Structures are given as C-alpha cells and as structure tokens.
Amino acid sequence: MIGMSALLQGGPAMSVHDKNGRAIEIELLSVSGKTVRFRRADHAKEFTVVLDQFDTDSQAKITQEAATLPAPLPPLAADVVIGKRRKKDNSYYLVTQEITCVVKLHNNSNDIPLPKFNAKVIFIGRNQRQPDEYIVLSTQEFPVELKPNGDSTNTLEPFVTTYDSDNKGQGNVGGFQYTGYLLVFVNDKNEVIFNQTTDADIRKAIIANPSLLSTMAGYIKDTPLDEKMIVRGQKKHLPIITN
C-alpha cells in the first residue's frame, strides 16, 4: 500500500525563504512547536523541518499563517482489499475479469474524530493492445466519518471488464485489464485531503503533476486516459463490459 499524502488540510500557497535566502513556494500543513510541516507547491511530497531553517521574516509569516489553518485531522489507516477473479470466455484468449473492493478505515487518534468527508475510489484499466492507453473502469463513492479509534468497512459494488489476455499476439483485440485504484477523500470545498494508491503509474503521474490529483478525483467511468493519467482523445476500443 502506498499512501501518497497525509490527512492534513493545508493553507494557500505562500512564498518563504530559507535561512540562506533561497525562495520556496510552500503549502503550509501544520506547525507544532518549532516543527513545520509543508508541501512544496511544485511537488506532492511533504517535508518536515524545524522553524529556524527559514529566515526571520519567513518564520513570522509561517507562525501567522499557522493560526489560520483548519483544525488538525487524525491519522488514518486505510486498507483497500481488491479481489480479481478471471473467467475465460468462449474465445481462448478473451478473459472476463471481475473486480471486488472492500475499503477498511481506522482512525488512529485517541481523541480527534474524523469529520464527514466524501470518499471516492477511481479504478483504472490498461489497454492490452495499446499499453500506453488507460481508462476509468469504475468510480464509486461513499461517506466516511469516524470517532476516535473508530473503524468502518465499506464494500463497493463489483464490476467486470473484458480483455484479450494474449497481449503479444498479432490478432490481439485489446480491451482493458484492471491495473490499480486511487482512493481520495474530498471535503465540502472539493479539495482532496487524503489519497492512497498501490499503482506505481498513478503514483508517478501525480508526483510529476501534483494538480492532477484533484483532476483525477473528478474522473467518471469510461474516461479515456494516456500514460500520464491525463484525458486523451476518444478512440475506438473493445467495448468495456461493466455492471
């Protein structure tokens, strides 16, 4: 499991300078004592440093901005269990793949509740004839709200997709095989405040293009994507079989 961001709501992007005078654009996530946690505006990765790593003016700016941040959210454990059952069709190579998903959540805090958010899982499939083409196989949503140390188990609707398993054959007809998911929590401002994936391609695309995260959260079923998880032009493909 690859958790790509902490359950933290940050402030707006701000320009600060380190103690050597270098300018940095950051999104401030939290300040605890002399410890500052932030995301760089050009990167999805989070950083934690001591306050005195910034120059005097920036320290004052960060301290002032910290007072306006939303209330802290609890640490969360998310376990996404994916089931993949394959069934051969009449064709020797054509495979129907049924995908099931159970999302298990746990609030790791003893005293901070998780307020109500909208959780969404975006399921991605890869074209077996054109491996640089992807598609959204399914998107499913559910509300989430947890008491301190609370748990929830969310069983999503199964769906199926059909693809040609002979991906090296000359007569491969394509179709999309499930490759991975993106789990996001979205607040009432449509901001993504938590995300998780096990798929290296999805993770790579979001790290390279952090703004893609909120875009992917809005994808709907059958959205065609390229290898960077960006919407591509419509093309003819083997029909997606889902229910």
pLDDT digits (tens, 9 = 90+) for 136-146: 999 999 999 99
111: nearest Cα among 68, 153, 69, 72? 72
Q: Please, where in the chain does CATH 2.60.40 lie?
A: 76-226
| Residue 41, token pair as written in the block | 């505006």
Q: How many CB atoms lie within 10 A of CB 71?
A: 7
* Residue pair 124/183 in contact by the 8 Å Cβ criterion: no
**Sole residue written with tokens 């901005």:** 65
Q: How many CB atoms lie within 10 A of CB 179?
A: 16
CATH second-level architecture of 2-66?
A: Roll (2.30)
* Residue pair 160/221 in contact by the 8 Å Cβ criterion: no
pLDDT digits (tens, 9 = 90+) for 134-181: 999 999 999 999 999 999 999 999 999 998 877 555 666 678 999 999
Whether the per-residue pLDDT at 36 is higher than 50: the answer is yes
| Residues ≥6 apart with Cβ < 8 Å to 73 | 7, 8, 9, 112, 114, 115, 193
pLDDT digits (tens, 9 = 90+) for 52-86: 999 999 999 999 998 888 777 888 899 999 999 98
Q: Please, where in the chain does CATH 2.30.30.700 lie?
A: 2-66
pTM, to two decimals:
0.74
Q: What mean pLDDT value characterizes the chain?
A: 86
First to last CA, the chain: 26
| Domain 76-226 top-level CATH class | mainly beta
